[in-house]
Amino acid sequence: MDKFMIKSAFRKVRGVTVSITLLLLTFNLICYKTFANVKTGNLEKEIGMAEDKLKNHQLLSLSGKEEALETNISIEQRIALYLEGGIKDFGFIYYDLTTKEKIVINENKVFIAASTYKVGLNMLVYEDIINGVLEINQGIIYDDDKDFEDGTGILKNEIDTTLTKPVLLQKLLDLSIIESDNIASKMLKRTLGGDKETRKRINEMAELSCDTDSNKTTPEIQFKLLENLYKNRENTYYTHLLNIMKETEFHDRLDKYLPYEIVAHKIGNYEESINDIAIIFTDKPYIIVAYSEGIDEANEKIAKISKMIYSEQLKK
């Protein structure tokens, strides 16, 4: 073999060796990058898990505290964190009348309606007036055996004065809302056919069913009534009802931390049942329904939840 052939073969071997070396270097570099990426990904995952754990720990530390309502978790989660175990005894609906956004908690749970039923009662009477069954200025005679009821209201102190003569239907309607007057409400229910018939018709108006043997309701039934009231707000009688609901004497719940003049609402109390239902007339009006049973300081908790909802609504 001559010298030329030896040099040519040597160059080929050296070229192959260089190519293999470059290939190995490239492979090692790819492996290193892949390993580095996997390692970095695992580290980021571990950091994320640690942050979630820390966040959950921080949230749990707010359980039962008002600060829970100031977190950036969902509204349902804020309320559940704030009420702790009481969430099972809480019925709630928020509904944005502009965007149709709806948030519900135990919306079909049955609660004692207490005086919140008086909104539906007023709506039924106004429907009968519209349909010509009743007249707004007709007088209703008080029946002591059927109409007397202690509790809220002013008529219980006027049995020997105001109630000695017929009371105008409009006055009874207004007193049932502003003063939550129990005697006025019983006189109205008697005019409609009694307790059971009134409850039956309220359920029919909401197109839902509930026990009619006692004063029971669900948050969803009351939501349906308020939605109907809002949809027909241009009606003269419903306009009047909404205005009267803004003049109620009770301000310890949904409207406590809000401007009173924008809150058309009706509260209800009965033993451990603390309730309030409302239409709130912000630039983007919304409905809020709150029912509770046996929750400590329920009035204030409902007020704080309402304040949080109002603050969120103003951001829209």
Measured distance CA(245)–CA(277) in Å, rounded: 10
Model confidence pLDDT, tens digit, residues 156-205: 999 999 999 999 999 999 999 999 999 999 999 999 999 999 999 999 99
Rounded average pLDDT over 209-219: 97
Is residue 79 in a domain? Answer: no
Q: 23 and 101, same structural domain?
A: no
Q: Are residues 123 and 266 in the same domain?
A: yes
The structure's pTM equals 0.83
Q: Are residues 28 and 92 in the same domain?
A: no
Based on the domain organization, do 57 and 127 belong to the same domain?
no
Helix (H) or strand (E) holding 247: none
pLDDT digits (tens, 9 = 90+) for 104-150: 999 999 999 999 999 999 999 999 999 999 999 999 999 999 999 99
Residue in the structure block whose two tokens are 């190519």: 19
Residue 75 lies in a domain: no
The total number of structural domains that make up the chain: 2
Query: Is the domain of 1 the same as that of 121?
Result: no
248: tokens are 């109620």
109: CATH: 3.40.710.10
Q: Are residues 146 and 199 in the same domain?
A: yes
Q: 90 and 140, same structural domain?
A: yes
Q: Which residues pair with 104 in a beta bridge?
A: 93
128 and 205 inside one domain? yes
Is residue 127 in a domain? yes
Which amino acid would we find at residue 188?
L
Contact present, 97 and 286 (Cβ < 8 Å)? yes
Structural domain range at position 126: 85-314
Task: Examine the domain organization and report whether 131 and 14 are in the same domain.
Answer: no
Question: Is residue 70, in this structure, part of any structural domain at all?
Answer: no
